Every structure is written in C-alpha cells, then in structure tokens.
Homo-oligomer: A and B are copies of this chain.
C-alpha cells in the first residue's frame, strides 16, 4: 500500500515482469518469440513453430513471454496467466535492403491492453542511426505517452542499424551498444533490450552509461554447450539486469529445464546449480 504513488497499475505490471532476488535485486528474464515475424519464420525445432509449445514453456518456467498480437489472440486462452510483452512494431527479413529499417506498427498500446489481460509491457524496436531514426523517435515518444497513460511499462529494442548497406560490424561494437542504451534511456524507456556488447568490459560500459533503467541483453551468441550459455548469462546478470532469450531456450531439447536453469542464475544461484537443474529429468512441455 502506498499513499504516495497512485500509479498502481504500473507498479503491479512491473513487479509481475521482474524476478526479485535477494542476492541480485530485481532482474528480468524473458522468453522471446518473435522469430515468426522477424526471422524468416525459421524454427530449427519444428515444435517451436507451435505457439502452444512456446506458451507452455513460459508458463511452466514462470517467465514472461514476448510475442506479437496475432499469436496471442489465437492461443492465449489456454495460457491466460503467462505475463505477456506484446511487441507493437515489427518487420520481416525479406529483401532486407530495399527499405529503411523501421518496423510497422502492428498494434497500439490501447489495443494491447484490451486484447491481453495478462499484459505486463509493450515492446518497440528502435533502429538508431537508421534512415528513419527521426520518424522512429517521434513514434516512440507517442508510444511512451500512451503507455504512461495506460500504466504499461515500455521495453525498447535498441539496435544501431542502417540498411543498404547493412553495416553489421558496427551493430555489436560496445560503443554502439552503449550509445543505443543511452538513447533508449534518454527517450524514457523502462527497459532496454540490447545486443551483447562484445565482452564483460562492454557490459560494464553499458551499465555506466544507462544506470537508471533495466538493461537486458539478447540471448547472445548461439551457445555450443549449456556451460557456455549459463556462464554467459551469469556474467550478464551480475553486471546488467537481464536477458531476453529465444532460440537458446525454445530450440533446446529440454527447453523448460533450460529456462529454469537461467532463472536460477537470475535468482542468484551459481552456474553449477543451473547446470544441475538442466540435468534433471526433462520437464515435458505439452
């Protein structure tokens, strides 16, 4: 109960989204499922194309799920309590360089809050340095205002990006990831999702430049082993605030064990404890 903060809707959504750990404080772990939209609908593990499969992982691992509205409206009635982050813009990977980097607005905050009773945040992809950066900053500001009004936290996917040619080498440089974090911070994001800034020093640099906001890192380089994956997560979450993981979870043969392993690390456990959780008997998804 707070007599000094009437924005309870925001507070409740934020708390539903975060993992509160005694050792580490507030951390954020997301299951990301925008593959179908953003990444050529390419699912190595065919089960992962089934939204029921994805939602069941989030449900059983008790972590929020990131997805687009169309997926939500067809499947969420079987998973009504999973905290949901609706991405409200998106673009495909086809013929990449024939247009400026900017997702279409496939949903509004108002629409999201009506459609999705378990909504905890909305997500917006911002391409910093892109040919439409100007339009995107204006558009993001409109999203932020609408989201504040509806008391919905905002997650910004902040990527340094230009098209034609795409300068991929630039995108992951720690200077650029740090810049992206700062831009999200200065534009009012509550949480920012970033590329992995090269290494541990990069993580530290990001932290210094965006101290007042949750910084969440993408699943990271495709991990060859569980050890590598969990070590990377441990490193990230002991400097920054969390991760949004997609393929590294839902294309794993034991996805719920994997997610619970990550979760343990976010709650302050060691890498070895996470590995032990992973090595337990497989938790069935469906």
Q: Which residues of B contact A90 (CB under 8 A)?
A: 137, 186
Copies of this chain in the oligomer: 5
Q: Which residues of B contact A129 (CB under 8 A)?
A: 92, 94-95, 98
Complex Cα distance, B106 from A134, in Å, reads 9
- The answer to whether A107 touches B152, judged by C-beta atoms less than 8 angstroms apart, is no
Partner of A106, one of B108, B113, B137, B175: B137
Partner of A119, one of B16, B103, B117: B117
- The answer to whether A114 touches B77, judged by C-beta atoms less than 8 angstroms apart, is no
Taking A7-B7, A8-B76, A50-B211 as known contacts, 8 extra A-B pairs with beta carbons closer than 8 A to each other, sorted by chain A number, are A8-B77, A13-B117, A15-B80, A36-B186, A91-B137, A95-B130, A99-B133, A104-B139
| Residues on A facing B (Cβ under 8 Å) | 1-16, 26, 34, 36-37, 40-41, 43, 46, 49-52, 67-78, 80, 89-92, 94-95, 98-100, 102-108, 110-111, 113-120, 128-141, 145, 148-152, 160, 162, 167, 175-176, 178-179, 181-190, 208-209, 211-214
